């Protein structure tokens, strides 16, 4: 008895500490019986299928199916067995299966005694590939019957119209094939179904797991549940999709940075994508590990990223889910894992941030100065509370005796409308010259800022500058700063803008508390004291010493800094060899530049 499972991975190159997982024959048997039970199959169904619950029979069935698969040549796809008839478990009657580019379509056949049947709700059933991650077989040892299983994750209905789509829930479709009855014909049906699912995800069907996914997991992330979350949520789903993976558990802060910075390019390119199972900190480490390499752009183009939310904040994962219209509830990790397996890519903005000391950072979330940076850093001691740690740290800071500290700084930003108008003029000139596809490296993306922080800003470029006492300054690339923190509602992951926000001194603690309590639904945006500017570039110059600074939630020195480019990161699908394991996340981070400027998809 067999079900879809990830392919075993070879030993990790260069001594990478990793684990690879694939289903055994005995596990497949247990899974198959469990699938039948989930779908309402009774003992008679199991007896009729001839399923032997011994591990010996399971291994015999596995060996037999391998032999059957060898009997079906790829060219046999032209000989589509027609009709494909069988029984849908949990539904009455005989059904005929039709395979097309969008779905598996089941049509119930009228009884032999009557050529006409009354129409009812059960006359047809559609298993859409939009909700399907893979197709597998469950078979008994004697090959007397075959069960085709489609692994679906359908959305639950939402209570109110206009709300985000409901979370995805596992729902299996089990079809007992009666005709064709010969093993090669049954195997061909399975092959055709698998090919149709693969093509629906934009990849050519082929041997699953030719290149595995590299999964980086922080076991201490959030409340220490990342390992359990991956094993119970993402790993089974990846196996159902036929995606091999290699799991690396990080051992200390900076482990991911060192791993991706120091590993040979050949080793990194042996993976079809990189999956982060943690909060936002591990994603920041991974990106900046690649940013420290001379071949950074090549790797970014060929190594898609995916994010599985397992930390305290999960801002990037929440922002991507929100942009996809997904519901941010307790189970949105299942939806994220589904998107990971379905390979629904989207570009995501990054910002190159340079500091006065010469240090540079690749930011994918935010640059934070002042009160919220202090809250973020102080919340680390409450990591065991998960996402609630931010609320606790904010409450403690607000309740502390005395007034809130203010930070003197000079803030400059280039409004997005001004920059986009200039970009349009530049694009027209570029098109006139016949140069519309010029890619520039990340280090050259300084279209709106001087090369040095010591140089003044251009006087006639539309920059806005103000010097004031601030409670907080935060520049965000995403709509969410946490799952329950809808900080920048207008922001889209790939709109080419960074949202510069600030609250000046003079706001009471009561007003701050009101803003904080309304941040879950974006209500703080209506507060008069909360200011926001959509920008293409910004410069922040602290005029006080020792203010707290965070970049993507990680501490940074308090010094002048500016972002020298914003662009959508999107890997080139033509460089990923159309491998089965290229189906990474919708939260896939990708980069695309034209002429050094952001290009909308």
Burial of 340 (0-12, 13-18, 19+ CB in 10 A): buried
Other CB atoms within a 10 A radius of the CB of residue 574 amount to 9
Reduced DSSP (H G I as helix, E B as strand, rest coil) percent helix, strand, coil of the chain, to 5: 35, 25, 40
Q: Residue 586: which residues within 8 A CB-CB, separation 6 or more?
A: 320, 324, 339, 340, 342, 343, 344, 345, 346
Q: Which residues lie across from 274 on neighbouring strands?
A: 214, 305
The rounded distance, in Å, linking the Cα atoms of 106 and 98 is 6
What is the spatial distance between Cα 287 and Cα 289, in angstroms, rounded to a whole number? 5
Q: Is 66 a catalytic residue?
A: no
Write the CA distances from 425 to 416, 419, 440, 546, integer angstroms.
14, 10, 19, 42
Catalytic residue among 280, 376, 495, 552, which? 280
Tell me the residue ranges of DSSP E strands in 34-101: 84-88, 95-99
d(CA 11, CA 17): 9
Question: Quick one: DSSP state of residue 86?
Answer: E
Give the CA distances from residue 514 to residues 371, 395, 542, in Å, rounded to whole numbers and listed in that order: 15, 12, 27
Helix (H), strand (E) at residue 151:
strand 146-155
- Between CA 394 and CA 428 the distance in angstroms is 48
For 413, counting Cβ atoms within 10 Å of its Cβ (0-12 exposed, 13-18 middle, 19+ buried), the class is buried
Decide if 349 contacts 493 (C-beta within 8 A): yes
Determine how β-strand 103-108 pairs with β-strand 245-249. Answer: unpaired
Q: Are 317 and 587 contacting, i.e. CB atoms less than 8 angstroms apart?
A: yes
Q: Residue 123, SS3? A: coil
CB 27 within 8 A of CB 7: no
- Six-digit token string for 373: 């940076």
DSSP 8-state class, residue 576: T
Instruction: Tell me how far apart the alpha carbons of residues 497 and 419 are, in angstroms, rounded to a whole number.
Output: 10
Active site residues: 280
């Amino acid at each position: 008895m067999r079900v879809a499972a990830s392919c075993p991975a070879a030993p990790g190159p260069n001594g990478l500490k990793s684990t690879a997982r694939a289903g055994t024959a005995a596990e497949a048997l247990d899974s198959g019986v469990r699938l039948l039970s989930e779908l309402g199959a009774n003992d008679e169904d199991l007896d009729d299928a001839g399923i032997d619950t011994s591990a010996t029979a399971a291994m015999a069935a596995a060996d037999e199916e391998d032999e059957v698969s060898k009997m079906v040549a790829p060219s046999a796809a032209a000989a589509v067995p027609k009709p494909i008839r069988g029984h849908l478990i949990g539904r009455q009657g005989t059904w005929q299966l039709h395979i097309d580019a969008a779905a598996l379509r089941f049509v119930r056949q009228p009884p032999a005694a009557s050529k006409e049947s009354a129409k009812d709700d059960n006359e047809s059933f559609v298993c859409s590939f939009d909700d399907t991650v893979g197709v597998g077989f469950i078979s008994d040892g004697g090959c007397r019957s075959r069960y085709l299983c489609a692994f679906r994750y359908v959305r639950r209905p939402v209570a109110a119209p206009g709300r985000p789509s409901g979370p995805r829930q596992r729902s299996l479709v089990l079809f007992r094939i009666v005709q064709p009855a010969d093993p090669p014909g049954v195997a061909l049906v399975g092959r055709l179904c698998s090919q149709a699912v693969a093509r629906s995800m934009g990849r050519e069907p082929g041997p699953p797991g030719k290149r595995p996914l590299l999964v980086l997991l922080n076991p201490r992330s959030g409340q220490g549940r990342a390992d359990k979350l991956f094993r119970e949520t993402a790993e089974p789903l990846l196996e159902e999709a036929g995606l091999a993976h290699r799991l690396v558990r990080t051992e200390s802060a900076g482990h991911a940075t060192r791993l991706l910075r120091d590993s040979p390019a050949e080793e990194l390119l042996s993976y079809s994508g990189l999956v982060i199972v943690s909060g936002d900190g591990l994603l920041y480490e991974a990106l900046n590990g690649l940013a420290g390499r001379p071949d950074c752009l090549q790797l970014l183009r060929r190594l898609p990223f995916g994010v599985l939310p397992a930390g305290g904040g999960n801002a990037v994962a929440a922002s991507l889910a929100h942009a996809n219209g997904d519901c941010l509830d307790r189970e949105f990790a299942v939806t994220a894992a589904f998107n990971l397996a379905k390979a629904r890519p989207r570009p995501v903005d990054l910002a190159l941030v340079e500091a006065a000391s010469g240090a540079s950072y690749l930011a994918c979330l935010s640059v934070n100065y002042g009160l919220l940076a202090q809250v973020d850093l102080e919340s680390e001691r409450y990591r065991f509370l998960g996402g609630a740690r931010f609320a606790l740290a904010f409450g403690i800071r607000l309740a502390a005796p005395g007034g809130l500290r203010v930070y003197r700084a000079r803030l400059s930003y280039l409004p997005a409308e001004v920059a986009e108008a200039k970009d349009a003029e530049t694009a027209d000139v570029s098109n006139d010259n016949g140069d519309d596809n010029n890619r520039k490296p990340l280090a050259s993306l300084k279209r709106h800022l001087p090369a040095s922080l010591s140089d003044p800003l251009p006087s006639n470029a539309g920059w806005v500058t103000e010097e004031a006492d601030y409670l907080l300054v935060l520049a965000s690339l995403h709509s969410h700063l946490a799952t329950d923190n809808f900080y920048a509602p207008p922001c889209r992951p790939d709109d080419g803008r960074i949202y510069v926000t600030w609250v000046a001194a003079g706001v009471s603690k009561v007003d701050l508390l009101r803003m904080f309590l309304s941040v879950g639904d974006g209500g703080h945006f209506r507060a008069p004291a909360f200011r926001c500017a959509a920008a293409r570039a910004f410069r922040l110059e602290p005029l006080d010493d020792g203010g707290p600074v965070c970049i993507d939630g990680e501490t940074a020195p308090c010094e002048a800094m500016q972002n020298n480019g914003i662009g959508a990161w999107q890997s080139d699908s033509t460089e990923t060899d159309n491998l089965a394991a290229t189906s990474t996340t919708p939260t896939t981070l990708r980069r695309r530049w034209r002429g050094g400027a952001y290009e909308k998809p």
